[in-house]
Chain A
Amino acid sequence: MRLRFVWPLLAFVVLVALLWVGLSLNPREIPSPLIGQPAPAFSLPELHDPEKQVSHTDLLGEPVLLNVFASWCVSCRHEHGVLVELDKYGIPIYGLNYRDTRDDALRYLRAAGEDPYTAIAFDERGLVGIDWGVYATPETFLLDSQGIIRYKHIGPISPQIARDTIIPLYHQLLAEEVPSS
C-alpha cells in the first residue's frame, strides 16, 4: 500500500472528525463575547439634538435596552412596534443609530410614528457599532443597572421574544437590583 493512495483516506478521517465536533455546535448561536462584560465605552452626539452627547454612563443606574437600528434596515421597521410596546411597558430604550445619515434617520422615525427611544446615539460611521460587535441590524442588548451586558438578541424582536425573554429577564434584573441597593 503506497502512501499516496492512503492520504485521501487520512484527509477524510480528519474532515469527519471536525464535522463530528461541528455537529454538536450551533452555528446560529453567536455568543457575544460582550455578555457579562461592561458595555463598551462610547460618547456620541444625540440624533435629535447634535449639541447633546449620549454616552455609556447614561445607561447606568437601572436596567435598560440598547437597540441598534438604521433607516435602511427593513427588519428594523418590523420590530419598531414591539419597541414602542416595550417602551410603554416601562423599559427604558436607548437607540444606537448605526451607519445612517441624520436626515434619513429622522425621516424614518417620523414615518414610524411613535418614538420609543429615551435617547439615540448617532453612530454615523459605525465605529461604536464595531466596539459593540454589531454585525447585522437590528440588534438589541439588555444591560443591568451596573451597565453590564446581560443579553443580546440579533434580528428583529418579535412579540414572543419580548414577552417570553426580554420582559422576564428585565424583571429578573430589577429584582437583582433590590438587594444590592
Chain B
Amino acid sequence: MLPEIGLLALILALILALLQGVLPLLGAARGDQALMAVGRSAAWGQFVFLFIAYLILTHAFLTHDFSVAYVASHSNLALPLKYQLSAVWGGHEGSLLLWALMLGFWSVMVSIFSRSLPADVLARVLGVMGLVAVGFIGFMVFTSSPFERLIPAPLDGRDLNPMLQDPGLIFHPPTLYMGYVGFVVPFAFAIAALLGGRLDAAWARWSRPWTAVAWAFLTLGIGLGSWWAYYELGWGGWWFWDPVENASLMPWLTGTALLHSLAVTEKRGTFKNWTVMLAILTFSLTLLGAFLVRSGVLTSVHAFAVDPSRGSYLLGYMAVVVGISLSLFAWRGPKVGLGGSFGMFSRETGLLLNNVILVVACAAVLLGTIYPLVLDALGLGKISVGPPYFESVFLPLMLPLMLLLGFGPTVRWKQDDPLQVLRRLRLILAFSLVVGMLWPLAVGSWSLLAAMGTFLGLWIMATIVHDVFVRLRQTPPVPEHDEAKSPRVRRLGLGYVGMQLAHFGMALMVVGITFVIGYDQERDVHLRIGETITVAGYDFRLEGISRVQGPNYVADRGEVTVFDGERQLPTLYPEKRYYPSQEMPMTQASLNRGIFRDLYVSLGEPLPDGSWIARVYYKPYMNWVWLGCLLMTFGGLIAAADRRYRLKTAQASVAHPDPAVLANAKPSGTG
C-alpha cells in the first residue's frame, strides 16, 4: 500500500510543479499578483510531496519490501543499515528521485532567500524552475517509477552493487546532484531576465551567490567521486576521463566561467549576453550529462541500466528546454546593451581570457566525449577516445589559465599598466620561478613539466599571499573599539576571502596533480608470505593473509607491514572481498595517507604457489589534490555568504559601504 501512496505523492508533486511552472509565468506576463504568488506555495507543496515519496522509498528499503522492484534489485537482507539508506539513490530510479527532491529543495530555498526580489522576477524564476521540475518528475512517473511492483516478491534482494557499498557512495551522489541541480537557479535567473528584459547589475548580483553555492557543491561532488574511485577501484587512479566524469567536468568548467563572468557583469555591467549564454550552457550541460549517463548512448563504468525509452524521453526533454532557451536567447539577446568598455590590459580582459579558455576546454572535453558517438551516428565506424587525447588538449589550455590566475586578481578594472603590474609582482615571479624549478628535485628527477607545474602552483599561492597583505595594509584605519568586532580579514569581504581561498585550493591542486602524475610509482608484484618488496624507498612485507567474515561478504585480508628505513609505519590491511549475492569480487585497497605521499596497497588474486598478486603504489602529494578540492568548496560557500548579497534590493544598485570594495578604486578590487 505505501509504495502506491509514494507514486501518488509523485503524481501530486508533478501537478504542483506544473502549477508552479505555468501560473507564476502567466501572472508575471499579466502583472497579476495573485497568480505570481502561487509560485511559492506550489514550490513548497511540490517539495513536501517529493519528500514524502522519498521517505516512503527509504521505508521500503528499511523494511526489506522486496515486492518493490527497485528495492529488490538494490538491496538484500544482509545489507548493512547505512547502505540500505544510501541504496535509495544507488540506482537509476532512486537517484532520479533524489535529483527531483533536490530540485524541489532549491526551489524552496529560492522562495525563502529571495524574498527581497521584485515579485515578477521571483515569479519568473520559480516558474522556470517549476517547468524544469515537470520534466524530471514526469520522467520518473512515466518511465522510471521507483515504486514499480515486483509480483511475486522474491525472498531476498539482489543486493546493492558492492562497488557502491562504501562511505564514498553515501556522500558522492547527493553532493554532486546538489551541484548539478543547483545550476538550475542561475539558469532560471537568466531565463527570467530574458523574459522580463531586465539584464542589469542587480540580476547578476542575485545570481552570484546561487552560482557560487552550486559550483561549490559540484566541486565537492566531483572531488568525492574522484576520491572514492581512488581507493575503491584499486587501480590507484583518480581520474579516468570516463564519459560520465567528463559529463560532470563540463558543467564545472562552464560553471567556473559563469562565476567569473557574473563578476564582470555585476561590477562593470558588461559581458551580459555572454553571462546569460554561460548560464544556459551550464544548465544544458547538466542535462546532457543526465542524458549521457541514463540513456546508454555511451559506454561508461557509471552507466545506469539501459532503456531506450528513457533515452528518448530525456533527449526530447533536453531538446525542448534547451531549444526554447536558446531560441529565447536568439530573440531577446540582441536587445541587451553592451555595457562599459574596457582597455586591452584590464581585469575584464583577464576574465574574458579566463572564460575563453574554460569554454574552449569544455568544448574539447565535449568533443572527445561525444566523438565516438558522432562517428557511430554518421556510420563512420566505432572508436573510443582515451586519456591521451584529453591530456594533450587539456594541459596546454590549463598552463596559460594558471599563469593568468596569478595576475588576474591583482589587475585593475577598466585599464591597468602592464609594466606596473609586472613591477609589482617581479619579486614574486622570481621567487616562484626559482623555488618552482627546484621543488621537483625534492621528489625525484627534474623534469620541465613538473617544474612548470610547481612554478605555476607557487606563483598562484605567492600572488594570493601578496595581494592579501597589500589589501590588509590598505584597509582604512578603524577606531580601536571596532577592531575586536570586525577583524581585519573580515573587512576584506567574504567575497574576496572566498575567491582567494578557492584560488589557493586550485594552486594546491595544480601542485598535487603535477607530482602525482610525474612521480607516482606503481609495482605489480607476486608476494609470498614473509616476502618484502621495496617501492620508492619504502619496504612492504606481506605478513600473512586471513579470512574475514563481513556482514554480507567474505574477505581475504592481507597484513602488510610498512617500513620507512628503520621506522615502522602503520600496518596496511588490503582486502579482496567476495559478495556471494552478486557473485562479484571487490578489491578494497588500504592506504597510508600523508601530506607528501600516499602509500597504497591493493590485493589481487592468490596464486597456487601460495603467493599473492598485489599492487603497491607510491603517490606523492595525492592529498594536495583533495585538500585543494576542499578549499575550493569552502571558498565557494564563503563567497556566497558575502553580506552584500543579502542587502535589500533597494540598496543594491547604490555604491557599496564595504571598505574592501572602496579599495577597488585603488590598485585592485574584489573579484
Interface residues of A (CB under 8 A from B): 1-2, 5-6, 8-9, 12-13, 15-16, 18-28, 30-31, 72, 74, 77, 110-111, 113
Contact = CB atoms under 8 A, between A and B. Distances in A.
B298 interface: yes
A20 B333 contact: no
A22 B326 contact: no
Given A27-B296, A31-B382, A77 B315 contact: no
A9 B326 contact: yes
Given A74-B604, A111-B609, A18 B330 contact: no
Interface stretch (B368-376, B446-454, B492-500, B547-555): B368-376
Interface stretch (B251-259, B317-325, B428-436): B317-325
Contacts of B524: 72
Interchain residue pairs A-B with the least CB separation, the first 10: A21-B377, A9-B326, A5-B333, A111-B608, A22-B373, A5-B330, A6-B330, A22-B377, A27-B299, A22-B297
Q: Output the residue of A27, A30, A72 with the most chain B CB within 10 A.
A: A27
Chain B: interface residue count, which band? 35 or more
Given A12-B322, A13-B323, A16-B319, A23 B295 contact: yes
28 contacts: A1-B330, A1-B331, A1-B334, A5-B330, A5-B333, A5-B334, A8-B326, A8-B329, A12-B322, A16-B315, A16-B319, A18-B373, A18-B374, A18-B377, A19-B315, A19-B377, A22-B297, A23-B295, A23-B297, A23-B311, A24-B308, A27-B298, A27-B372, A27-B373, A27-B376, A74-B605, A111-B608, A113-B608
B589 to A, nearest CB: 15
Interface of B: 273, 277, 280-281, 284, 291, 295-299, 308, 311-312, 315, 318-319, 322-323, 326-327, 329-331, 333-334, 370, 372-374, 376-378, 382, 524, 604-605, 607-609
- Chain B: interface secondary structure? helix
A113 to B, nearest CB: 8
A5 B315 contact: no
Contacts of A12: 284, 322-323, 326
A5 B318 CA distance: 19
A23 to B, nearest CB: 5
Contacts, number: 82
Main secondary structure of the interface of A (DSSP, over half): helix
Contacts of A16: 315, 318-319, 323
Contacts of B334: 1-2, 5
A71 to B, nearest CB: 10
B607 A111 contact: yes
Contacts of B319: 16
Contacts of A30: 382
